[in-house]
Amino acid sequence: MPRPAKPLIRYDSVIETSLRIIDSEGLDAFSLPRLARELNVRAPSLYHHFQDKAEILRAVARAIVLEAKWPDEQSVPNWVEWFVRLSLDFRSAVLRHRNAAPVLLQFMPRDVLIRTYDTSARLLGELGVPAEQRVLILDGMDKLTVAAAITEAVKGPDEWGRAFATVDPATEPTLAEAAELNPRSVEELFAESIRCFLRGALPYIDADAPAPSRAAIAAPAPGTSAAS
């Protein structure tokens, strides 16, 4: 379908409205006709900025990931907690848009994440991690953070905020007891898993070494996020 000669809507308005529909009503409610009605335009107007529905969903996934911000080094006591905060912020961005988890699974903007990991690799170098070991850390962080965030996002409302929420004491009594006695929230469990991974993978780096300074790593341009 040919694109209109003159744009009738703003690019960012399409993304914001798409995400609002998905957040409030679920992914099944999202369609180009529905989006057009919400924007009070005809559906062909959407083709000025986007080739098809998939391209819109790619932009939605990108917008979600870009909500994660760089941690402020003044707000964390050491480099471990800097990485923990980076992971927690990504997790929070995903969980703000639980209904969009399938979109992230299909259209995760890996190019955005790669730039984040490139900066993280420079941080690891500043800490003294040999170049040949940095992929081990970054790949582990990728699997822990991305997979854990999406896994949490797709849980049903009755499982939110609880680890092993579906365990049955009658059939899994040992696990049920452990879950009952667990003192940590789901977010705290996630944060601790990041700490354990980093300390175990890099035992020779002082866990109390300071967080990176903005001058030591390539900080994003003003007005952009960690992943932009």
Q: Which CATH architecture does the domain made up of 11-51 adopt?
A: Orthogonal Bundle (1.10)
Q: What mean pLDDT comes out for the span 41-59?
A: 90
- pLDDT tens digits along 69-94: 888 888 899 999 999 999 999 999 99
Same fold, 11-51 and 73-201: no
What does the mean pLDDT of the chain come to? 89
> What are the extents of the domains in the chain?
11-51, 73-201
Rounded CA-CA distance 129/202 in Å is: 8
Residue listed under structure tokens 């209109």: 4
Q: Which CATH architecture does the domain made up of 73-201 adopt?
A: Orthogonal Bundle (1.10)
> What residues contact 125, with CB distance under 8 A and at least 6 apart?
131, 134
Residue 222: name the closest of 111, 84, 69 by CA: 69
Per DSSP, the three-state class of 131 is helix
**Predicted TM-score (pTM) of this structure:** 0.86
Q: Decide which of 83 and 49 is more confident.
A: 83
Please say if the pLDDT value at position 227 is more than 80: no
Rounded CA-CA distance 38/34 in Å is: 6
- pLDDT tens digits along 132-154: 999 999 999 999 999 999 999 99
Q: What mean pLDDT comes out for the span 42-55?
A: 88
